[in-house]
Every structure is written in structure tokens, then in C-alpha cells.
Amino acid sequence: MERIGVIGGGLMGSGIVEVAARAGLDVVGVEVSADAAKAAEARVEASLRRAESRGKIAADEVAAVLDRIRFVDDLEALADRRLVVEAATEDECTKLDLFRRVGQILTDDDAILASNTSSIPIVKLGAVSGRADHVMGVHFFNPAPVMKLVELIPSLTTASATMDRMRSFVTDELGKEPIEATDRAGFVVNSLLVPYLLSAIRMYEAGYASAADIDRGMVLGCGHPMGPLALSDLIGLDTVRAIGISMYEEFKEPLYSPPPILDRMVEAGLLGKKAGHGFYPYQEK
């Protein structure tokens, strides 16, 4: 799978592009517009320059990695890809439309179409793609260039050969460590993580403590590297809410239901670090 396509150039999409290009692969990233494509390209370069400044990568390697990346605003550029990873916004209608269109665009019958979704059923995406046996979930974690874990999620219709190819690719080509999860909303990590984050948001909403003290409690008292509210800001409050909604719709468990304050913050555009404000204010350097 030497030719990779990535749909979406946000934090996750650009991170996956960087991971694949640093592994020596030819990568095409697709965004919704020319301006968004330029912004995604700049995001990848900024990440590589940070790695260079920390001695993680040499300057000539940065140039070589960037040469292997091309960002466009046309899905047709994915036609010759051997693997396409969808990392668009966590919205079911958007993802279903993309899988329907890309399934028709890919010219290689053996190409794999994967989703980086956190919660949307893989079987639904496969059903609309016209190539259900070659569709599965490949869930990276933020920041993708740093985090070692990748969740691999086959659906009821995913061929065993597809799963074997992706496990080998993630391990041998990307140098990541995969775990396998069943096709249930939230998979492994978010099924444990999101109820914890939502519980912290409810605690903040009820006035138990300030955001800073809730986070300090978990960092200093439980040894977590980051508190739940700061982590929610990093993930994106809209993404946390979308995952919670998806999990609630599947399981109808109250602990998955987003609290009202989270709804209000998303409606107000207070989405966390990417928007400049969430539970904490952020200032771009």
C-alpha cells in the first residue's frame, strides 16, 4: 500500500498524512477547498518543523517528507490509491456520502477504504461503499505522529484478508501498535474515556469545583498526564459531544448522554483548543 489517500486535513487528517509520508509513502490529502488544502499543508509542515526543532527529524528529511505529500480539493485524485483513510468531521451523513463517492472513484478493486471515525458503525460505511469487504475502521489517536496506538475495527462484512493487510500495514509500515475492537460505538478507548470526560463536564456544570481544580485533582491525585477538561479541549468539544451522542443512540445509557453545558458550548463555538476557547482560553503562538 505504497499510495495512500487521506480525506480531511484537520488535526487528525494532517497527522495521518504526516505519519504515512514519514514512513516513505506517497500521500494525497483531500480537503473541501483549495484554501483548506493549503491550510492542511501548512499544518503538516508546522508539525514537521516542530519535530525538527526538537531534534526528532533532520532538515533534509523534512524536505523529503514534504515532497511525498500533495494536498488537493478533488476526490478524483484518490482514484489510484491503494488505501484511503477518511478523517473528515465526525458526522454520519458526511461520512456516508464520502464512502459512497470514494467507493465509486477507486479504480483498484483490492484497494482498502478505512475510516478514522471514533463512533460511527463501520458496517454502515461499508454498505454504501459498494466494497463492504474492503472497508474497516482504522482509528488513530491525537496527535497521530506521537501516539502509538491504532484501533482496528472490522465490521461483519470486512474480509479477513483486509484485516490482515491493515494489521501488517499499521505494524510494519507505520510502526504503530494495533488493538482489535468490535464494531460497536466507541470501540475500546472511547467507551472508557468518553463517560469519564462527560462525568467531569457534569461535575463542572454542577459547580463541584473549577475546571482547573477538577483537572489538578486528576493529574496530581491519579497521576493522569492531563485533566479531563483540558483533554476535552484538546480533542474538541464538538467531537466529544458527537461521540457521546453516537454512543447514547446505540446503548441508551445515561452516562453517554452529553450534558446541557456541552451542548451550549458547542452551539456557541467554544470548541476547545482548535477554536481558541473551551473550558480554557488558548492563544496561538
DSSP 40: H
Instruction: Answer whether 265's CB lies under 8 Å from 204's CB.
Output: no
pLDDT (0 to 100) of residue 119 = 80
Catalytic site residue from 118, 119, 129, 232: 118
| Structural domains for the chain | 3-180 (3.40.50.720), 189-275 (1.10.1040.10)
The count of other CB atoms within 10 Å of the CB of residue 56 is 12
pLDDT (0 to 100) of residue 207 = 97
Residue 116 appears among annotated catalytic residues: no
Catalytic site residue from 31, 86, 90, 151: 151
Residue 118 appears among annotated catalytic residues: yes
Strands 69-72 and 135-140, bridge-based pairing: unpaired
Catalytic site residue from 14, 31, 86, 139: 139
Catalytic site residue from 115, 116, 190, 246: 190
- The one-letter amino acid at 195: P
| pLDDT tens series, the chain, 285 aa | 899 999 999 989 999 999 999 999 999 999 999 999 999 999 999 999 999 999 999 999 999 999 999 999 999 999 999 999 999 988 889 999 999 999 999 999 999 999 999 888 999 999 999 999 999 999 999 889 999 999 999 999 999 999 999 999 999 999 999 999 999 988 999 999 999 999 999 999 999 999 999 999 999 999 999 999 999 999 999 999 999 998 999 999 999 999 999 999 999 999 999 999 999 999 764
pLDDT (0 to 100) of residue 285 = 42
Residue 277 appears among annotated catalytic residues: no
Give the separation between CA 59 and CA 230, rounded to whole angstroms.
32
Q: Which three cell numbers stand for residue 162?
A: 483486509
Place of cell 451522542: 245
- The one-letter amino acid at 255: L
pTM, two decimals, is: 0.88
Give the separation between CA 137 and CA 134, rounded to whole angstroms.
10
Give the separation between CA 120 and CA 159, rounded to whole angstroms.
19
